[in-house]
Structure 1
């Protein structure tokens, strides 16, 4: 029996032209119009504009949320709902939306505030490490209170976050095949986001979280949950907490998921899943053409 999960990518998966092929679809058109009223700018214009602009946190996060939500809605029209959902960082908001925890507009207002706060964050640094010595890295992080493991993406890929000095110190000492400093404004998913997270809580508290119709694996706590209050508490910790994507992938296997579909632009999560979940059937739906093929298959 096929058991399916849908996963939603976060910042870094954005691409010029994403979502544009959906603009004539009635469902998509309505959501693009709703989004423009809430945001005060056009998602389609940003997605067809300058790459530097689209890559700015202020625009990236709302654009990804809107485009991924549209694709997920259209996918639900063509197939049955998945048994589990999860999203990487920003993608968790789409997972919560499609599972019925909040409506599209409420989710977008949260993402709008999140993107504003995160784009203003300053004084931090993030860096990605590929093919590294995990035990050595964990020891270095344990010895330095100003750096944390922000994204545990897979056994061979992580992102560290913290003060510039602390991140640079770890980069200088850790053994890794590749070390890449990320072009971000702040130390996302670290305690340095505490002030922004505090400001975000007041907005989060004003949004009603329903119980989920589909169990959600959260970034900070990768176990299936459906209770609205629990999912809200988990999301409240996300801005300062680590993205435990490696554990989410392990959980997919433990929950006997046989097929995972990445819903959104790119194949970043699919690449991670391919290496971590051997034998799992993987698919990506990021374009109208991919959706149409699904309908004709």
Structure 2
């Protein structure tokens, strides 16, 4: 049987209208209602009618968590993954699917995480495409207050830090393309330390369960089912980098032959394709994709 990994995208993959088709599936109604009770606002209303709000971290992260987790619940009726991983926010969905976190607990954590990250100011993030990696590593090492926040693929990274430091890196590395990201702060960098400390206190009080399937974490892409290890890694995630390139490389090393991206868009399968060319890649963005899979 083909060994399959499910991967879950993070902030940046959201799109207006995502999740709306899930309303046609009767089993989803309870989850959407439960989410509204926890959040105090409607995921469906934001996804359907308010593109501006959906672009803000405060709403983006809970909406992605709810939509992706519901898609995963439906997909689990048809198949089971052999391994899971998520990009930044997506790691919370992966932990839910692996049985590490109860669904409502995961959503409450995501809600608070989004609030803390939304309130972070004073930093910036810029994506770099097609660059000299050796030079980038040298420049980052020589530039205080700038780090590689997302190592996404051999040809794409995201730099995070103070505006001055990030600009200094860009000016020296001279990537083919540099794209500023529309975020409120320097996510996945030491500049998130204050928010991370507050969030750590919350995470410490949450019960993590041993995973049903191995999880590849952002900050340490070595698969594990150990609850204590997964909690420790999640605590480090807000200030640590997303090592997605290494996660991609770890997939075949873990015997994975097929990868299913569960959530809006195809960002992760695109990144994986640039890193590992021999994997079967599929996308489940909505009900239509689930129907195709069933056939």
- TM-score range, shorter-chain basis? over 0.9
Indicate the residue corresponding to 1:140 in structure 2: 139
Partner of 1:237, secondary structure, is helix
Number of residue-to-residue matches in the alignment: 295
Partner of 2:134, secondary structure, is helix
Q: Report if the CA contact (8 A) 1:27-1:70 is conserved.
A: no
- Find the aligned partners of 2:269 and 2:11 in 1 and give their Cα distance: 15
Indicate the residue corresponding to 2:265 in structure 1: 266
Indicate the residue corresponding to 1:257 in structure 2: 256
- Find the aligned partners of 2:248 and 2:148 in 1 and give their Cα distance: 17
- Find the aligned partners of 1:276 and 1:29 in 2 and give their Cα distance: 38
Aligned counterparts, 1:211-222, within 5 A = 211-222=210-221
Instruction: Report whether the alignment pairs 1:35 with 2:35.
Output: yes
After alignment, is 175-184 or 97-106 more displaced?
175-184
Shift in Å, 1:182? 1.1
Shift in Å, 1:171? 1.1
- Find the aligned partners of 2:73 and 2:85 in 1 and give their Cα distance: 15
TM-score, structure 2 normalization:
0.99
Shift in Å, 1:39? 0.2
Indicate the residue corresponding to 2:205 in structure 1: 206
Aligned counterparts, 1:1-297, within 5 A = 1-79=1-79, 81-295=80-294, 297=295
- Find the aligned partners of 2:222 and 2:48 in 1 and give their Cα distance: 37
Shift in Å, 1:236? 0.2
- Find the aligned partners of 2:95 and 2:27 in 1 and give their Cα distance: 19
In structure 2, list runs of 5 or more residues that go unmatched. none
* Deviation string, structure 1 residues 213-261 (Cα, Å, up to 9, x no partner): 0100000000111011110000000000000000000000211211000
Q: Report if the CA contact (8 A) 2:245-2:272 is conserved.
A: no
Shift in Å, 1:274? 1.6
After alignment, is 54-63 or 27-36 more displaced?
27-36
* Deviation string, structure 1 residues 112-143 (Cα, Å, up to 9, x no partner): 00000000000001100000111111111000
Shift in Å, 1:27? 2.5
In structure 1, list runs of 5 or more residues that go unmatched. none
* Deviation string, structure 1 residues 37-69 (Cα, Å, up to 9, x no partner): 000000000001222210100000000000000
Following TM superposition, the consecutive aligned residue runs of length 4 or more in structure 1 with deviations greater than 2 angstroms are none
* Deviation string, structure 1 residues 139-183 (Cα, Å, up to 9, x no partner): 110001210000000000000000111001111111211011111
Partner of 2:76, secondary structure, is helix
- Find the aligned partners of 1:13 and 1:158 in 2 and give their Cα distance: 16
- Find the aligned partners of 1:49 and 1:172 in 2 and give their Cα distance: 40
* Deviation string, structure 1 residues 2-42 (Cα, Å, up to 9, x no partner): 11000000000000010000113232111100000000000
Q: Report if the CA contact (8 A) 2:154-2:274 is conserved.
A: no
Q: Report if the CA contact (8 A) 1:154-1:246 is conserved.
A: yes
